[in-house]
Every structure is written in C-alpha cells, then in structure tokens.
C-alpha cells in the first residue's frame, strides 16, 4: 500500500471533519460535559444524597460481603461510583467520537455528492479504506485520552478536597483506556459495512450507535454483583474486542468496493 495515498486521504477527511461545527461540536461537547460536569456531580451526590443512595447503589454489593451499607464511608461511595458507574460510561467516548467522524467520512461522501471523486483517486480500495479508518481512529483515541486526563485531574481534585483521598491512579480505569482503541476500531469497521447500505449520515450513526448499548449494561453487572469490574474482567473484554475489531475490519476490507459504495 502507498503510504502517501493513505496519509493524503486521512488528512483530507480530518480537514473536512473539523471544518464543520455539526461534526466537531457533538464530538467534543459531549465528552467535555462528561469530563467536567460528572466529577462535580459525583462529589455532590456523595456528600448530600446520604444513606439512601448508599443503600440503593451499594447495598447489594455490601450485603454479599456480609456488611451493612451504612458502614461504607462516603469516600468509598465516590470510589465505587467513579469506577463502577462512570467508568463504563467513559467507554462510550471512543464509540461516540468514532461514530460521528466515520459516519461523515463514509456516508457523508454520498450525502454531499462527493463520492464520485473517489473514483478518480489513484488510491486502491485498501488504501482508501485504511486512510479513512485512520481519519476516524486518531481523533477518537486522542480525544478519549485527553478526556480521561481531564476527568482524572478534576475527580482527584474534588475527592481530595472533600475526603482527602484520590481516585487515580487506578488500574481499572487504565484498562478501560487500553480498551478504547479496540472499541473505536470495531465502531469504524461497522460503519464501513453500514455505509455501503445507507444513504446518509444519520442512518449510519443510528445503526452504529447500537454499540453503546452493551457497554451500558456493565454498571448493572457490577452493581448486582454478577461480575466484578476489575483488571481481569477488562482484560477478557480487551481480548474479545481485539478479536471483534480484527474480524470486523477484515470483513470491511474484504468487501469494500468503491463503485458499489458510490451507487448504494
């Protein structure tokens, strides 16, 4: 594959993506809301919600360990909430970002009537697909890392100021961060497949956003003690994501055809 063709395609898509507020607005706005507002919200409910929330959220897990939920300190609550509730929500960040950019990169070509230009490019189908994948993958993972750092710093600041404890560094959160590239790749590969069948960005985004649903089940798995959200849980999840992302991207590369993509 020609590296220059791949870089040129990726740079073109990145310029188009960040030139439209309808793309980078939701892509940046939602993660920033998560990183800045949720830490403050977590501290607020840990200080003022009282035993009621401790009973409701921690009660099941506490009872399985044979202790009363009232014995759990508020500092334990903020750690539990930040890791087991907000942690899985963090995993939706690479999916949301990749969905916004990749949907515009592929389905957006049809919507803007620019897909015909793909026929005139000297790049092969493989180079075209890899270039567009990079254009979605790099900002998705990069933004996820930035949001993680912002969230960690703000959460540590509030938890230290309120309870004298810090949440980070935390191995569970770091494993979530390690999982994010494979979530992004799986999302992008799915959008490639979906884009060959749909005619506009909204359809591609709606179908691909279904990937968020399995992630949102994880907090309930932890709260109801079905599984423990720890290193090994996320390690197993990472292995599954590596396999799924490789499979989806392989299928996308195998069946991607620019001519069929344009006329779909």
DSSP letter for each residue of 183-241: HHHHHHHHHHHHHTT-SSHHHHHHHHGGGHHHHHTHHHHHHTTSS--SHHHHHHHHHHH
Can you tell me the distance from the alpha carbon of 92 to that of 16, in angstroms, rounded to the nearest whole number? 24
Can you tell me the distance from the alpha carbon of 3 to that of 146, in angstroms, rounded to the nearest whole number? 27
From first to last of its 264 residues, the chain has per-residue pLDDT tens of 778 888 888 888 888 777 766 666 666 777 778 788 878 877 777 777 655 555 555 544 444 444 444 445 566 777 777 787 788 888 888 888 888 777 777 777 766 666 666 667 777 878 888 888 888 898 889 988 988 888 888 888 888 887 788 888 889 889 999 999 999 998 888 887 777 666 666 777 677 667 777 787 887 777 677 777 889 999 999 999 999 999 988 888 777 766 666 555
Q: Measured on CA atoms in the order 108, 176, 91, 43, is the torsion positive or negative?
A: negative
Structure tokens of 67? 């202790």
Residue count (the chain): 264
Tally of structural domains, the chain: 1
Can you tell me the distance from the alpha carbon of 118 to that of 54, in angstroms, rounded to the nearest whole number? 56
Domain that holds residue 195: 3-263
Q: Are 141 and 181 in contact (CB under 8 A)?
A: yes
pTM for this entry: 0.80
Can you tell me the distance from the alpha carbon of 133 to that of 138, in angstroms, rounded to the nearest whole number? 9
Q: Are 124 and 3 in contact (CB under 8 A)?
A: no
Can you tell me the distance from the alpha carbon of 208 to that of 32, in angstroms, rounded to the nearest whole number? 22
Taking 3-state DSSP, the helix, strand and coil percentages for the chain, each rounded to the nearest 5, stand at 85, 0, 15
Can you tell me the distance from the alpha carbon of 238 to that of 242, in angstroms, rounded to the nearest whole number? 6
């Amino acid at each position: 594959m020609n590296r220059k063709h791949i870089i040129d395609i990726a740079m073109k898509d990145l310029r188009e993506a960040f030139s439209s507020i309808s793309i980078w607005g939701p892509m940046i706005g939602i993660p920033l809301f998560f990183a800045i507002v949720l830490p403050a919200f977590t501290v607020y409910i840990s200080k003022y919600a009282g035993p009621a929330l401790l009973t409701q959220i921690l009660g099941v897990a506490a009872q399985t360990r044979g202790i009363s939920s009232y014995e759990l300190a508020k500092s334990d609550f903020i750690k539990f909430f930040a890791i087991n509730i907000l942690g899985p929500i963090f995993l939706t960040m690479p999916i949301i970002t990749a969905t916004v950019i990749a949907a515009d990169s592929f389905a957006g070509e049809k919507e803007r009537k620019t897909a015909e230009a793909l026929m005139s490019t000297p790049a092969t189908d493989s180079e075209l697909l890899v270039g567009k994948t990079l254009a979605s993958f790099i900002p998705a993972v990069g933004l996820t890392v930035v949001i993680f750092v912002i969230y960690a710093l703000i959460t540590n600041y509030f938890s230290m100021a309120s309870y004298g404890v810090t949440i980070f560094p935390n191995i569970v959160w770091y494993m979530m961060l390690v999982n994010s590239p494979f979530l992004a790749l799986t999302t992008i590969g799915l959008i490639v497949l979906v884009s060959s069948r749909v005619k506009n960005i909204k359809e591609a985004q709606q179908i691909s956003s279904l990937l968020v649903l399995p992630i949102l089940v994880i907090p309930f798995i932890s709260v109801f003690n079905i599984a423990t959200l720890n290193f090994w849980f996320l390690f197993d999840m990472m292995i599954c994501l590596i396999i799924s992302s490789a499979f989806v991207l392989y299928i996308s590369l195998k069946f991607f055809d620019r001519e069929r993509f344009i006329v779909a």
